[in-house]
Amino acid sequence: MSRPQSARRVSPQPSWWRGSRGEAWVLGQVILMALVFLGLKSRREETWLLAKYPEYAHYQLQVSKLIPFIY
């Protein structure tokens, strides 16, 4: 006996997450573009901070940019 149409189980995952390679590729591109954008944005902000606060150069040497102990 089959279930009625309205009683079908709904997947808790969004449809783009279920395994289509094309959609995963698009998600990867979006993540890559976001990382590039954030990298460029942080570089510009650091330039502005150095211009306004000369002591920021010393602070830059002590901390990581985005990911502690890595980058």
Q: Are 29 and 36 in contact (CB under 8 A)?
A: no
Q: Mean pLDDT, 10 residues at a time, over the chain (71 residues)?
A: 62 61 80 94 94 94 81 71
Which pLDDT does position 24 carry in this prediction? 77
User: What are the structure tokens assigned to 38, written together?
Assistant: 């954030």
Per-residue model confidence (pLDDT) at position 33:
97
Q: Where are the domains of the chain?
A: 39-71
Residue 4 phi/psi, 5° resolution? -65, 155
Query: Which residues does 17 contact at the CB level (< 8 Å), separation at least 6?
Result: 23
Q: Which residue has the tokens 């460029």?
A: 40
Give the global pTM: 0.56
Report DSSP letters for 16-33, one per residue: GGSS-HHHHHHHHHHHHH
